[in-house]
Chain A
Amino acid sequence: MVLTVLPGQAKSVPTDYQSLVDNRFYMEKITEPLPLSGSVDLYLVRFLEHQTESATKTHLRSAVLAIENYMDFPLPVKEIIMLFSTNIDAGGINYGSHFTLDISEDGSLPQLIKGGIVHEITHFYLVMDTPWFAEGTANFLATQVGFELYNQEVAPRSNRSSCPNDVINITEIAAAYPGYYPRTNCPPVLLPQLRRENH
């Protein structure tokens, strides 16, 4: 398992890399039964000791169930390895074999709801190479699962990072960034609008 984590962290956080090499980390593992895929092995890896039954683990277990239920398709991976660390670009990255999340997202509600766990898991369902759909679906599902699990509206987190300022449509983005035509570089917008038709 450690070897799959190493490539993602070797460059960005050398100290964490060394901790992995030296076998100095803490890991929670649980096998979660799922109705469609049978089960998934969940691993939470940290460099600081944490409660065994962490809130993050509880959220993760609920989230994989809710995700598979909404997708109505088996989760396409048999194990999910989450590494909490620092200096994570964009707050979280899915490397295909595992994903990293900023340690600030390893907390309690509402941090967990707004955080990237569901977002990064959704990236395992890969059906399109262009970022608007991959990021859009990940944010959409994070919002959907947050509402289903906790009955809370969740502001899609990419509203913060992917939508320039307060622009609300492609015309405004093009006007604000002449010469740069993002073709929906504002991924959270299209899918919720499509479902609700509020435009």
Chain B
Amino acid sequence: MGDEPFQAAWREIFQTGIEDNLKFTDAEIYQLFFKHTPTDHITRVNRVFINFHGGDFVASP
């Protein structure tokens, strides 16, 4: 997904999580990365989650 979108997602995950004292689920983590993924990279990002996570929450492109 590239450095900048990745870092934006990363920072949102940690800042939101710590400020609001949240404990995210796997699906929520995926959604936060998905939210920052450039449109033309969605398919590839989904493939990474499918290959390396195996979660059944990955959205259809």
- A residues whose Cβ falls under 8 Å from a Cβ of B: 70-73, 76, 125-130, 132-133, 137, 169-171, 174, 181, 183-184, 186, 189-190, 193-195, 197, 199
Contact = CB atoms under 8 A, between A and B. Distances in A.
The 8 closest A-B pairs by CB, nearest first: A127-B17, A170-B54, A195-B6, A190-B52, A169-B51, A184-B53, A193-B48, A128-B24
A122 to B, nearest CB: 10
Given A169-B51, A170-B54, 9 more contacts: A132-B26, A133-B26, A133-B29, A169-B52, A170-B52, A174-B54, A183-B54, A184-B54, A194-B33
A197 B15 contact: no
A195 B7 CA distance: 8
Contacts of A132: 26, 53
A171 B14 contact: no
A194 B44 CA distance: 9
Contacts, number: 83
Given A129-B23, A130-B26, A199 B51 contact: yes
Chain B interface size range: 20 to 34
14 contacts: A71-B14, A72-B15, A125-B14, A128-B23, A133-B26, A174-B54, A184-B54, A190-B53, A194-B48, A195-B1, A195-B6, A197-B44, A199-B48, A199-B52
Nearest to B20: A127
A156 to B, nearest CB: 13
Contact of B48 (A125, A133, A190): A190
A73 B52 contact: no
B35 interface: no
A197 B40 CA distance: 12
Nearest to B28: A128
Nearest to B8: A72
B52 A197 contact: no
